C-alpha cells in the first residue's frame, strides 16, 4: 500500500495510490481519520486489512483525485509528533568525515516544519550559502513502540519513504549542536509515498542514489548501514516511546558535497533527486 498526503485546495488530505492514481481516503472510508498519521494510529495493527478495504472501496471510482504524477503531494506524514535522524550510519560516510565509528546510533531531531513534499521547491537558499544534500531512507512507525528488542522492532514499523536531509553546513558547525543546520524550515523533502512493508519487503537491501543536476553524487545500499533499522528503532525505544506516524531518517552514505575536494554546495536553480528502490524518487529545485 502507498499512502500519501495530497494537496486539496491548500489542505493536505490522506490518499492512497491505486493503479497509478491518487484516491481520497475520506471518500473511500467515510469514518476514517483525516490524516495518514491518524490512519496509522487506527489501523497500525492491520495495515493489510486497511489496504484491502481501500482497494475494495475504490472500485466505484468516485474517490479518484487524479494521476499521481499530476497531483501535488506533500510529506506523507505532514504532522509527525517526532522526526528523529541517525547521523554517521554508513561506514564510508564516517570515513569521509574523519570521525571514529560510532558505538551507538547518533540521534538528533528535526521538526515537522522542516518537511516538504517530493517535488516542492527547496526555498532555503537565502538561509545558508553552504546547503548540502543527504539522501536517506526514512522509516515511519506504525504501532506504539516502547523498550522493544531488536528482533521485535521492525514489527512496529509501518513502512518507509525517501528523505533528503538537506543541511546548512555553516549553521550545523557554528557550535557543538547540529540542530540549527538540520532544522531549517522547509528544508527536508520526503515521500513521494509511505510504502508499507508488505509491499516494500526487506529494508536492508535497498539501493539509494542521489543526483544533482542529473549527475550522480551518492550511490549505496542500505545493507551498508552500521546500525540497521531494527537496531535503531530498538535503541530509541529504550529512552523514548515511539508513536504511530513518528519518522526516523536512517542516515546518509558518502558523497555529500561538503566532503568533496573542493567542497560543492547547492545553489539556486540546482535540482536534487534522491531515489530508492521500490520507494520512488524526490525531485526538488533549490530556490
Domain identity same for 176 and 222: yes
Would residue 228 count as lying in a domain?
A: yes
Same domain flag for 240 and 131: yes
Cross-strand bridge partners of residue 23? 16, 64
- Residue 259 and residue 173 share a domain: yes
Same domain, 187 and 276: yes
Q: Mean pLDDT over residues 185-209, rounded?
A: 98
Residue 79: closest CA among 129, 44, 114: 114
Q: Using the predicted structure, report yes or no on whether residue 96 has a pLDDT greater than 90.
A: yes
Give CA–CA dist 218/221, Å, rounded: 10
Bridge partners of residue 139, in order along the sequence: 160, 248
Residue 89 lies in a domain: yes
Whether 74 maps to a domain, the answer reads: no
Confidence of residue 178 (pLDDT cuts 50, 70, 90): very high
pLDDT digits (tens, 9 = 90+) for 226-239: 999 999 999 999 99
Using CB atoms within 10 Å of the CB of residue 198, give its burial: 0 to 12 exposed, 13 to 18 middle, 19+ buried: exposed
User: In this structure, are 105 and 207 located in the same domain?
Assistant: yes
Q: Give the range of the structural domain holding residue 192, as residue numbers without chain letter.
A: 83-285
What is the per-residue pLDDT for 9? 87
Average pLDDT, the chain: 97
Do 201 and 145 lie in one domain? The reply is yes
Would residue 72 count as lying in a domain?
no
Domain match, 87 and 23 both:
no
* Count of the separate structural domains present in the chain: 2
Query: Average pLDDT for residues 25-38, to the nearest whole number?
Result: 96
Tell me, yes or no, whether 164 and 28 share the same domain.
no
Q: What is the pLDDT of residue 110?
A: 97
pLDDT digits (tens, 9 = 90+) for 100-149: 999 999 999 999 999 999 999 999 999 999 999 999 999 999 999 999 99
Q: What is the CATH number of the domain that holds 99?
A: 3.90.850.10
Cross-strand bridge partners of residue 116: 189
Pairing mode, if any, of strands 64-67 and 83-87? unpaired
Pair 192, 58 in one domain: no
Same-domain pairing of 115 and 11: no
Rounded to 5 degrees, what angle do the CA atoms 169, 172, 178 make? 145
d(CA 98, CA 116): 31
* Domain end position, chosen among 14, 33, 67: 67
CA distance 120 to 53: 31
Amino acid at each position: 500500500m502507498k499512502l500519501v498526503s495530497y494537496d486539496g485546495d491548500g489542505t493536505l488530505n490522506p490518499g492512497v495510490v491505486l493503479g497509478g492514481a491518487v484516491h481520497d481516503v475520506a471518500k473511500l472510508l467515510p469514518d476514517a481519520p483525516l490524516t495518514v498519521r491518524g490512519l496509522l494510529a487506527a489501523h497500525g495493527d492491520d495495515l493489510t486489512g486497511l489496504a484491502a478495504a481501500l482497494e475494495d472501496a475504490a472500485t466505484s471510482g468516485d474517490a479518484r483525485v487524479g494521476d499521481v504524477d499530476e497531483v501535488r503531494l506533500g510529506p506523507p506524514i505532514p504532522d509527525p509528533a517526532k522526526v528523529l535522524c541517525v547521523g554517521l550510519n554508513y561506514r564510508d560516510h564516517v570515513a569521509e568525515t574523519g570521525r571514529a565509528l560510532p558505538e551507538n546510533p547518533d540521534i538528533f531531531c528535526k521538526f515537522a516544519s522542516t518537511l516538504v513534499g517530493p517535488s516542492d521547491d527547496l526555498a532555503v537558499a537565502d538561509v545558508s550559502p553552504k546547503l548540502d544534500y543527504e539522501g536517506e531512507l526514512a522509516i515511519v512507525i506504525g504501532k506504539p513502540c516502547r523498550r522493544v528488542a531488536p528482533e521485535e522492532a521492525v514489527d512496529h514499523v509501518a513502512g518507509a519513504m525517501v528523505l533528503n536531509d538537506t543541511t546548512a553546513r555553516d549553521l550545523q558547525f557554528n557550535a557543538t549542536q547540529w540542530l540549527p543546520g538540520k532544522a531549517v524550515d522547509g528544508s527536508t523533502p520526503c515521500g513521494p509515498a509511505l510504502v508499507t512493508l508488505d509491499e516494500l519487503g526487506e529494508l536492508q537491501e535497498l539501493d539509494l542514489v542521489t543526483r544533482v543536476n542529473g549527475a550522480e553524487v551518492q550511490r549505496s545500499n542500505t545493507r551498508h548501514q552500521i546500525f540497521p533499522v531494527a537496531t535503531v528503532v530498538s535503541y530509541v525505544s529504550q529512552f523514548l516511546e515511539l508513536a504511530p506516524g513518528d519518522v526516523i531518517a536512517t542516515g546518509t552514505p558518502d558523497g555529500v558535497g561538503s566532503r568533496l575536494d573542493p567542497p560543492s554546495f547547492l545553489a539556486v536553480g540546482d535540482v536534487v533527486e534522491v531515489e530508492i528502490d521500490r520507494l520512488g524518487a524526490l525531485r526538488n529545485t533549490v530556490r
